[in-house]
Amino acid sequence: MPNQLAFKDRLELTIALANNQHNKVAVLDLDLDNFKLLNNSLGFHAGDELLKKIATELKTCISDTGTLCRVGSDEFLIALPNCVDEQTITTFVCTILKSVSQPIQLAKQTLSLSCSIGISVFPDDGNNYNDLINRASEARRLAKKNGGNGYYYFTEQLNKNSLEFLCLSHQLRDAVVKNQFVLHYQPQLDLVSGRIIGAEALIRWQHPTEGLLYPAKFIDIAEQTGLITEIGIWALKEACQQAVTWQKSGIEPITVSVNVSALQLRRGNMVSVVQTILNETGLEPRFLELELTESILIENIEQTVLQLNQLKALGIKLSIDDFGTGYSNLAYLHKFNIDKLKIDQSFVRNIDTPANQAIVLAIVQIGHALGYRVIAEGVETEAMKTHLLTSQCDEAQGYLFAKPIPSPLFYEFLLAR
Ligand code: C2E
Ligand code: MG
Ligand code: MG
């Protein structure tokens, strides 16, 4: 374990890197609760053993992402680089609290420990070693004062945010069990014929007290807590079921598109999940499309190609959502067995500028050259539609045609056309 001097070096390096990449760095000051009491009653030898075990636990939590050092008898410092937001930090801190509190076997006894953690964040709470360390330890004293076994951010607002995060993630778990989700549907049109050819299923959460919540409020939390797997399965099944219901009612069959998060692809056994749901609902595979995020194009390319091939072999369609905003690895794009690119709405929104026109045109051309269809999202005006037609974009989706609406309204919308 590095000593405090080495820790200082590492933290300063981490800060310099984060400064260039506009990332946050969290500094954690961790102190075991009631360690002196344990040390005195168990004896120093057992106390040493205990510290070793805790240090090993902490190392495992941090793996190779952060830096850990021991400063006092039972005090540790942790530097956590590449924190995108404070939710990443809160999630990590909760993991530490949980692993420290796991029962430890020592001197034929089972002990249960806890700790207090103070957190300061670069650049919000300081931009140098001293400020960050001092503020983390000030926050740690507050955590202790509040009874220990917990954490405290130096910045009050972050305490509030993190409370909201924990509260929401708890309620989200409940929402899965209580079935509080609903899908709204937004039509997708063929630009030339004007025909409705599909519907994107967009999830909403009917929160018991907050009303209808949009995905921006909870999808991140669902991903960070892993709940997205369960929620994703629900959404997929619900959308397939709905498509079958529409078909049975006699309207012309349309494709339903379901959003799939990168985490679902990486963790879940998507191929068998999709297969099972198709079997259970009886939806013909060609009427299901999965919208994947661009980020999957850069991770584990080989494995992703394999997985997408397996999904395609089921007979379903695949599209890349928000294309052009993430990490479009053009070198690999042609290797992916997909059907469609979805031009991100930011390009459509500003399509009246020459730069965005050029980008939209380029995406359409890349798509067509690779044999994919291209759809634009966020189409709000006739002018945007005209630009897209001129660029030979195939399909469109947006408020100009309809907002996402509950399924009964969507059915009426289909009938009225
Ligand atoms: P997305 O897949 O890119 O969905 C398009 C978003 O743009 C939707 O927001 C939609 O309501 C909005 N939109 C559609 N037309 C227009 C328009 O003309 N103008 C403007 N300003 N906005 C328009 P929504 O429903 O809030 O969904 C946000 C994101 O949440 C989605 O982005 C998708 O990434 C995610 N999401 C939604 N449902 C699910 C789901 O079931 N699973 C997963 N993993 N993610 C989902
Ligand atoms: Mg989408
Ligand atoms: Mg999108």
Residues 386-394, mean pLDDT to the nearest whole number = 97
In this structure, the residue with its CA closest to atom 46 of ligand 1 is 259
Cα-to-chain-centroid distance, residue 294: 13
| Token digits of residue 271 | 């191929």
User: Residue 398: CB within 6 Å of ligand 1?
Assistant: yes
- Tell how far the Cα of 96 is from the centroid of ligand 2, in angstroms: 34
User: Residue 380: CB within 6 Å of ligand 1?
Assistant: yes
Q: How confident is the model over 12-66, as pLDDT tens digits?
A: 999 999 998 888 999 999 999 988 888 888 888 888 999 999 999 999 999 878 9
Q: Distance (Å, rounded) from C-alpha 76 to C-alpha 100?
A: 12
Give the pLDDT confidence score for residue 335 in this predicted structure: 87
Give the pLDDT confidence score for residue 262 in this predicted structure: 87
> In the 3-class helix/strand/coil scheme, how is the chain assigned residue by residue?
CCCHHHHHHHHHHHHHHHHHHCCEEEEEEEEECCHHHHHHHHCHHHHHHHHHHHHHHHHHHHCCCCEEEECCCCEEEEEEEEECCHHHHHHHHHHHHHHHCCCEEECCEEECCCEEEEEEEECCCCCCHHHHHHHHHHHHHHHHHCCCCEEEECCHHHHHHHHHHHHHHHHHHHHHHHCCEEEEEEEEEECCCCCEEEEEEEEEEEECCCEEECHHHHHHHHHHCCCHHHHHHHHHHHHHHHHHHHHHCCCCCCEEEEEECHHHHHHCCHHHHHHHHHHHHCCCHHHEEEEEEHHHHCCCHHHHHHHHHHHHHCCCEEEEEEECCCCCCHHHHCCCCCCEEEECHHHHHCCCCHHHHHHHHHHHHHHHHCCCEEEEECCCCHHHHHHHHHCCCCEEECCCCCCCEEHHHHHHHHHCC
User: Above 80 in pLDDT, residue 144?
Assistant: yes
Give the pLDDT confidence score for residue 166 in this predicted structure: 81
In sign, the C-alpha dihedral spanning 136, 139, 141, 147 is negative
pLDDT, averaged across the chain: 92
Beta strand 115-122 with 109-111 is: unpaired
In this structure, the residue with its CA closest to atom 42 of ligand 1 is 259
Ranges of each domain in the chain: 4-154, 165-416
Beta strand 104-106 with 109-111 is: antiparallel
From the CA of 201, the nearest ligand is: 1
- Tell how far the Cα of 85 is from the centroid of ligand 1, in angstroms: 21
Give the pLDDT confidence score for residue 380 in this predicted structure: 98
More confident residue, 129 or 298: 129
Give the pLDDT confidence score for residue 219 in this predicted structure: 93
Nearest to residue 19, comparing CAs of 159, 131, 127, 134? 127
- Tell how far the Cα of 338 is from the centroid of ligand 1, in angstroms: 20
- What single letter denotes the amino acid at residue 140? R
As beta bridge partners, residue 25 has: 122
User: Residue 399: CB within 6 Å of ligand 1?
Assistant: yes
- Tell how far the Cα of 66 is from the centroid of ligand 1, in angstroms: 34
User: Residue 324: CB within 6 Å of ligand 1?
Assistant: no
Give the pLDDT confidence score for residue 312 in this predicted structure: 97
User: Residue 186: CB within 6 Å of ligand 1?
Assistant: yes
User: Above 80 in pLDDT, residue 297?
Assistant: no
CATH of 4-154 given 3.40.120.10, 3.30.70.270, 3.30.300.30, 1.20.1260.10 = 3.30.70.270
Q: How confident is the model over 69-95, as pLDDT tens digits?
A: 998 889 999 999 988 888 889 999 999
User: Residue 320: CB within 6 Å of ligand 1?
Assistant: no
Domain spanning 165-416: which CATH class is it, in words? alpha beta
Helix axes 228-248, 156-178, angle to 10 degrees: 40
User: Residue 212: CB within 6 Å of ligand 1?
Assistant: no
Q: pLDDT-based confidence at 268, cuts 50/70/90?
A: low
User: Residue 215: CB within 6 Å of ligand 1?
Assistant: yes
Q: Are 341 and 279 in contact (CB under 8 A)?
A: no
Give the pLDDT confidence score for residue 212 in this predicted structure: 96
From the CA of 214, the nearest ligand is: 1
Cα-to-chain-centroid distance, residue 119: 23
- Tell how far the Cα of 244 is from the centroid of ligand 3, in angstroms: 24
Percent of the chain with pLDDT over 70: 99
Q: How confident is the model over 168-221, as pLDDT tens digits?
A: 888 999 998 999 999 999 999 999 999 999 999 999 999 999 999 999 999 988
Residue with tokens 């619900």: 238
Q: pLDDT-based confidence at 414, cuts 50/70/90?
A: very high
What ligand 1 atom has the least distance to the C-alpha of 399?
18
Q: How confident is the model over 213-266, as pLDDT tens digits?
A: 999 999 988 988 889 999 999 999 999 999 999 999 999 999 999 999 988 888
Q: pLDDT-based confidence at 156, cuts 50/70/90?
A: confident
Pocket-testing residue among 223, 377, 379, 388, ligand 1, by greatest number of atoms within 8 A of Cβ:
377
